[in-house]
Structure 1
Amino acid sequence: MQRVQVTPRSFPKNLIDKDWSKRKITHKNVNIPEFLDVIHDMEIREDDVWVVTLPKSGTTWMQELLWLLLNNCDFEGALSTHQELRSPFLEFNFYINEDIEDSLKPVQELQSPRLIKSHLALPLLPSKLWLGTNKVIYVFRNPLDAWVSLYYHGVTTGPNYGKTLEQYFDEQVSSQEYVTEIIEHAYEFYQLRKEPWIFYTSFERMKKDLQGVINDVSKFLNKPVSEEQMERLLKHLSFEEMKKNPTTNHLWERAHKAHTTHKNAGKEKHNFVRRGKVNGYKDELKPEQIEKVNVWIEKSLKENSITMEELLLLNESYKNTL
C-alpha cells in the first residue's frame, strides 16, 4: 500500500517539546493535504468532546460510552439512531467524496454537545484543540490486534477480499516507518495523559475493568451516573450487546460507502464488532509474522523510551490522575 508523506501547517509545540521537524506522517489518501488545511483551521465549540484513536482500537466502544454520558444515558436514543449520525467521523465525508467544501458538513450541522471521532494524529487535528480547552479521549490498542481486526473489516468492505491475512500483513505492515508512525500516534497522547483535558486509556484496560473506566470517564466529563445507570451501561456496552446492536456495527457507514466500495464488498461478511478479544492475534498470525512486526515495534518503542505495557496501561504502577 503506497502512502504519501504529509506535513501539517504547524505543530503543537506548546504541548510537547521535541524536534517536530523529524516527525514523519504519511497517509494513504494522496489528495489529503488540502483537507488537512481545512482541519487545521477548523472552528470548534467550547463543549465539543473528541474521541481520537487509531482504527479498530475500541473507538466504537468508547464512542458509545461517551455519547451516553453526554446525553444523560439516553439508551432509547442510542438504540434508535446510528452511531455515525450521533457522533460523526471527522474524516468520513472527505474519504468518500473528496469534496473539500462539504467535508465537514456532518460535524458542522450537529447540535451541541458534539462528540467527534477522528483517527488523525495529534499534529493533524484542529490547532484550536491544542489550546486544551476541550475534552479529548484517546484509546490505544495493541497494534497487532488492531491490524488483524482491520483486515477482517477490509474483507467485508472489499479491498481485502480474496487476500489471506498473511498477504494483508505483508502489505499493511510493510515498513519500519509505518510502525513508527503508529507508535508515535499513541505516544504523543500518552505524554499528555496528565493534562486535565486529556483522558488516555486502552482497549485492554476497558476489557479488564469496564466499570472502572466508566467511573473515570464520568468524572473526567463531570457526568455522574447512578447505580441504575451503571448497571444499564455495563449491559449496553457488553460485547454481546454491542455485537448484535445494528446502530454500533457501522451499517449506515457501509451503505453510504456503497458507491465507492470495492466491487467484492459484501461477498464475505464479518461483523464490525467481531471478536473483541485481547491478544487474539496470537490465534491468527504466524509466529514469524509476529516476530517480524515485534522487532519493528520494539525499535520504535525504544526510540521513544516507552514500553508497550505502559502504552496499554498494563503496568501495575499506573494510576489514573483525574
Structure 2
Amino acid sequence: MSFTYTPLERCYSEKLDKWFGKKDCFYEFNPGKFVMPLEYSLMARDILDLEVRPDDVWLISFSRTGSTWCQEIMWLIANNLDFEKATSTIQQLRAPLLEGSIYFGDNPEYCRLVGGNSIEYVKGLPSPRFIKSHIPYEQLPTKLHIIKPKIIYMARNPKDICRSYHPHMQMFYGMNVSFEESAKMFCEGKMPLGDVLDHSLEFWKRRDESHILFLKYEDLRSNTKGTIRLIAEFLGKPLTDEEIDKIYDFLTLKKMRDNPSLNMETFTAFHQKNGRRNGGVPFIGDGKIGAWKERMTLEISKMFDDWIEDKTKGTGLQF
C-alpha cells in the first residue's frame, strides 16, 4: 500500500499553526484522512511494512477513549495477573504505542526508555507483543489485515473524547486555544488524528470478524467486570470471579492515578518543567460518562449531535 500527504487547507492549517506555535505543523495523510505532523512521513512507510506476528495482541483506538485502562486489563489477563510488573514497569514499555515517537519525540525521558524509535522498539519486543496504536485502519501495517492477530478496538462517545482531548493537547503538545474553538475543529475532523468517527466506523463495520473485538468505553465503565470477562474470553484466557475482582480492584480510578506505571508522570514532569499547563487535569481523567455536559455549550452540543447522526446514519453504531 502507498500513502500520500498534503498540507491541510489554509483555513485549517493557519489555525493549527497558531494554536501549536509551529509553521506548517500538520498534514493530512491518505488513505484515512490522518492528520499528523509532517515528521510522520518519515515513519509511515515503516509502519505500513511492519512485520506482524500471529500472537501479537493489538489495542487500537482514537486518543482519550480509555485505552490506557483497557490496555492494562488486556496485559494483566494475558500475563497471569502479574500485578508486580504492572506496578514496577511503565505501560509504554510493556505495551508500547507504535507511533509513540511522533507524539513524544521531544521528551528526553521517553526517548531514553524506548531508544528514540518506537517502531524499532516494537520490532525488538519478544512474543507475544502487546501493541497499542491510534492510527486509523488504512494506515496500519498492511500485514495486520492478512495475519489477523487479536485486535481490540476501543470506541467512545465523540463528545466525551473531545472534552478530554483538549487538556491532553495542552499538556503534551502545547496547544493554546479555547475549548470552544478546538471543539469546532474536532467536529470537522481537522484536529490531530483526524475524524474520530471515520476512525471508529472502519472497525465497526468489521466487528463481526473473529479476530476483532469492538468495545465501547461506556460498556467498560458501566459493566466493568462483565467487560473484563468478555476481554478474557476473547483472548482465550478465561478468568474466575476472584481473578476478575482482583483486576477490578487493581484498576480503580484512584489506584490508576496513583500508579506511576500508568499515570504518565514520567513524561508529564518534563512538559510541566517547560511551562505547559492544562488546568491541572490529570492524564487519567475522571472517567465520567457524559462529562461533555460540563464543557459544551448547547450550540456545540447540537453541532456534535448533527455530525454524529449524519456520519453514523445507517451503520447501527450508537453512543
Query: How has the CA–CA distance of structure 1 residues 28 and 180 changed in structure 2, closer, same or farther, with 3 Å as cutoff?
Result: closer
Residues 34-72 of structure 1, C-alpha deviations (whole Å, 9 max, x = no match) = 421111110122211000000000100100001101111
Residues 200-222 of structure 1, C-alpha deviations (whole Å, 9 max, x = no match) = 11100101111111111111111
Residues 168-201 of structure 1, C-alpha deviations (whole Å, 9 max, x = no match) = 3234434689998321211111111111100111
Q: CA deviation at 1:262?
A: 9.8
Q: CA deviation at 1:284?
A: 1.6
Q: Report what 1:7 is aligned to.
A: 30
- 2:294 counterpart of 1:283: yes
The match for 1:264 among 254, 275, 291 is 275
One-letter identity of the residue aligned with 1:46? P
Matches within 5 A, 1:120-269: 120-157=135-172, 159-160=174-175, 163-174=177-188, 181-254=195-268, 258=271, 263-266=274-277, 268-269=279-280
Residues 244-285 of structure 1, C-alpha deviations (whole Å, 9 max, x = no match) = 222111123435x65xx9943247432111210101101221
Which SS does the other structure have where 2:261 is aligned? helix
Query: How has the CA–CA distance of structure 1 residues 307 and 86 changed in structure 2, closer, same or farther, with 3 Å as cutoff?
Result: same
The runs of at least 4 aligned residues of structure 1 exceeding 4 Å deviation read: 174-180
CA distance in 2, matches of 1:191, 1:94: 28
Query: How has the CA–CA distance of structure 1 residues 4 and 179 changed in structure 2, closer, same or farther, with 3 Å as cutoff?
Result: closer
Q: Is the 8 A contact 1:57 1:141 kept in 2?
A: yes
Q: Is the 8 A contact 1:160 1:168 kept in 2?
A: no
| TM-score for the superposition, normalised by structure 2 | 0.82
Q: How much is the aligned-residue C-alpha RMSD, in angstroms?
A: 2.7
Which SS does the other structure have where 1:246 is aligned? coil
Q: CA deviation at 1:79?
A: 1.0
| TM-score for the superposition, normalised by structure 1 | 0.81
Query: How has the CA–CA distance of structure 1 residues 289 and 307 changed in structure 2, closer, same or farther, with 3 Å as cutoff?
Result: farther
Query: How has the CA–CA distance of structure 1 residues 170 and 183 changed in structure 2, closer, same or farther, with 3 Å as cutoff?
Result: closer
Which SS does the other structure have where 1:31 is aligned? helix
- 2:304 counterpart of 1:293: yes
Q: Is the 8 A contact 2:52 2:147 kept in 1?
A: no
Q: Is the 8 A contact 2:137 2:203 kept in 1?
A: yes
- 2:93 counterpart of 1:60: no
Which SS does the other structure have where 2:255 is aligned? helix
One-letter identity of the residue aligned with 2:315? I
Identity %: 29
Q: Is the 8 A contact 1:84 1:253 kept in 2?
A: no
Q: CA deviation at 1:156?
A: 3.1
CA distance in 2, matches of 1:283, 1:30: 34
Q: CA deviation at 1:165?
A: 1.9
CA distance in 2, matches of 1:267, 1:179: 20
- May I ask how many residue pairs the two structures share in their alignment? 289
Q: Report what 2:5 is aligned to.
A: none
Which runs of 5 or more structure 2 residues have no equivalent in the other structure? 1-11, 14-25
